[in-house]
Chains A and B, each alone.
Chain A
Amino acid sequence: MRLAVRGFAVLLVLVAGAASIPAFWPGLYWSAPRVPENFGPGDPVRGEQVFAIGGCASCHTGEENDAQPLAGGRRLETPFGVFVAPNITPDPETGIGNWSDADFVRALTVGLSPDGRHYYPAFPYTSYTRMTLRDLVDLKAYLDTVPAVRNRTAGHDLDFPYGIRPGLGLWKFLFLDTGRFEPDPARPPELNRGAYLVRGPGHCGECHTPRNFAGAMRAEAYLAGAAEGPEGGRIPNITPHESGIGGWTESELADFLGIGITPDGDFAGAGMAEVIENGPSRLSAADRAAIVNYLRALPPRPFGGN
């Protein structure tokens, strides 16, 4: 064998070996923030606010009229196949009742299950990774108060090769940027609050940012909207560009987040109506204002970032 070919083969083996670590031993590669011993119990009242902005109900509650809250089963039809949201009620067998705070933090910050398997980023840990430990622990405390429902959800139904779960190790290696939100000391607290809410628990970018071929958000087009969103529909540009929210006043944006009304007296449709109902409508006016001010301070980008 020629030296070049042999060298290439060795390189390939090394790369494959290295890549296998994130794939098969993810716990070695990603570590979640540690919950300190004396962190104290979570506050379920605060947790309910985190739950609202986190929008958990919008995915984890089924779509049927009699669906049990957070018991899972909802199908997300994406270009990669169908994801089925799991049960996150405190049922010990079919929900997350057996999870510790550390398990919960790990799931939401690095996308790993308690038994060390990768989650698909349809679960937006790519945004939740920015959440504070306090918010995460409070959220868990709130979820612990929700009625436990015994419901074993179906697995995902993904197209080949996306069903190969260890492959997510490579995806994460290439695209996942973990880490808590760091406030910018040069910006006022309200702007930092808005940035945290939008980039972290609000996970707005997961729908409003266009994605690349591998389904990762394109950072340079953050919140610029997408011709085809996660569930196929067109997602608006929410940067202050004329093709986005540039023509909206602060008051109109606040009213939109509050009750879903648009400047011409129409109402938010499709997925956004549900997002608003489960989320921003339940926040304080101050938090809604923080979100609005953050969005208005973003660099204006044309639709789709093009």
Chain B
Amino acid sequence: MVKRSLKPSAVVRSLAILMAVAGVALTVAFERGSLAQGNEIQQRQDAMSELGDIAKELNDRTKNDSDYDAARVAELAARAHEITGGLGPLFPEGSTSGDSDALPVIWENWDEFVEYATNVHEETGRLAEIARNGASRAEARAQFARVGRNCSGCHDTFRAE
């Protein structure tokens, strides 16, 4: 038997590499949903993550009188107000692929979902406002707790366990 060289030509080699890279990219994009939905899932996960960090700091800033900083509370609340004002577009119909915890019931009960988002947007706005206007630590904490109840209210119904 003639020993033929098995080395692929340069063209074939380039094509193989291109296909491998494309395959990986497509898989990653598909898993993250960014191919199907244009990246909303990642954006909202980032938004929620940032809101969680804001919540942690708001908790620390309103627990003790010595750590209370009304200006910082106002700043954090304002940022949360900004984020929560833009949630709707991050939930396009049926965007439940990949590692998203969003439940299909979001779009079945869209009005209720929007109500929670609106409430948390308003309550964070209120927190920013009262902090700017010299609210006491206790007042700020009470308003922060009110914000939190809207977070959990929505999560209960619309987010997977």
Which positions in A face B, CB cutoff 8 Å? 234, 255, 258-261, 264-270, 273, 277, 281
**Nearest residue, chain B, Cβ from A271:** B156
Closest A residue by C-beta to B148 = A267
With beta carbons under 8 angstroms apart, the residue of A234, A260, A264, A266 that contacts B145 is A260
- Does B132 touch A at the CB level, under 8 Å? no
Are A260 and B148 in contact, with the CB atoms below 8 A? yes
With A260-B149, A267-B155 given, name 12 new contacts (CB 8 A).
A255-B59, A259-B145, A260-B145, A260-B148, A261-B56, A264-B56, A266-B155, A267-B149, A267-B151, A267-B152, A269-B152, A269-B153
Interchain residue pairs with CB less than 8 A apart (20): A255-B63, A258-B145, A260-B148, A260-B152, A261-B55, A261-B59, A264-B56, A265-B56, A266-B52, A266-B152, A267-B55, A267-B149, A267-B152, A269-B152, A269-B153, A269-B155, A270-B156, A273-B149, A277-B145, A281-B145
Chain B residues with CB below 8 A from A259, complex form: 59, 141, 144-145, 148
Give B contacts to A, CB under 8 Å.
Answer: 51-56, 59, 63, 141, 144-145, 148-149, 151-153, 155-156, 161
Min distance, Cβ A57 to any Cβ of chain B, angstroms: 15
Closest to A277 in B: B149
Contact B54 A268 (CB under 8 A): no
Kindly state the separation between the CA atoms of A16 and B152 in the bound complex, as whole angstroms. Answer: 50
B149 partner residues in chain A, CB cutoff 8 A:
260, 267, 273, 277
Residues of B with C-beta under 8 A to A270: 152, 156
Complex Cα distance A273/B148, Å? 9
A258 surroundings in chain B (CB, below 8 A):
145
Top 5 closest pairs, chain A to chain B, by CB: A265-B52, A265-B55, A267-B152, A267-B148, A259-B145
Complex alpha-carbon distance, A269 and B144, angstroms: 15
Taking a contact as CB atoms closer than 8 A, the residue among B55, B59, B152 that contacts A273 in the complex is: B152
CA distance A140 to B7 in the complex (A): 91
Q: Which residue from chain A places its CB closest to the CB of B50 in the assembled complex?
A: A265
Please report the C-alpha to C-alpha distance between residue A260 and residue B147 in the assembled complex, in whole angstroms: 11
